[in-house]
Amino acid sequence: MERRKIYLSNPILCLAEYIRCEDDWDRYNCWMDPETQMGYNLRKVITFEEYTRESIRSRFIFTIIRCKDNARIGAIFVSPENTLPDLAIMIFKPYRRQGYGTMAFSLGVRYCFEKLKLDRIYAGCYPGNVLSMQMLKTCGFELHPEGNVKERHYLTGEEITQLDFVKWNPEKCEVE
């Protein structure tokens, strides 16, 4: 594996530099996974070549690496500059439901507060996504109903609500 810059770590995971030529294939396969598409309420029908031509418009995107064996287990990213800071994560299929998402999301929150100096971070999930909701609550996020967004389900067209969550930077403590 190519040497990557490490941005933040704990004994189990690290948030590392995203290297397109190494990481795009894993992330592309994750986007093509029906469970991922359900979690993001979108259907991505695109070839790998088209995917690699898309620009990455996030403030950051990191590859989540498991320390013991350098396995790439997911990606974490935050929305672009000049937008509300929305933190999102994807864990690759073989590594789901093992607690890595919560650990990596906690590291992402820390990065947003310590390095980016954000005063708050938002995240969203859909009511049926119990595991994501649990992860957000474990990471200290609270429901933020003012930010809920009504959408159409990507498969059925039925109206659904993306629930909004927020976490305030305890260092700034300027809750509105």
Using the predicted structure, report yes or no on whether residue 8 has a pLDDT greater than 70: yes
Is the CB of residue 26 less than 8 Å from the CB of residue 65?
Answer: no
Using the predicted structure, report yes or no on whether residue 2 has a pLDDT greater than 60: no
pLDDT band at 1 (very low <50, low <70, confident <90, very high): very low
The domains found in the chain, sorted by start residue, are 6-168 (3.40.630.30)
pLDDT tens column, 110-158: 999 999 999 999 999 999 899 999 999 999 999 999 999 999 988 889 9
Percent of the chain with pLDDT over 70: 97
Q: Pick from 59, 79, 62: which is nearest to 17 by CA?
A: 62
Is the CB of residue 103 less than 8 Å from the CB of residue 135?
Answer: no
pLDDT band at 176 (very low <50, low <70, confident <90, very high): very low
Q: Is the pTM of this model over 0.85?
A: yes
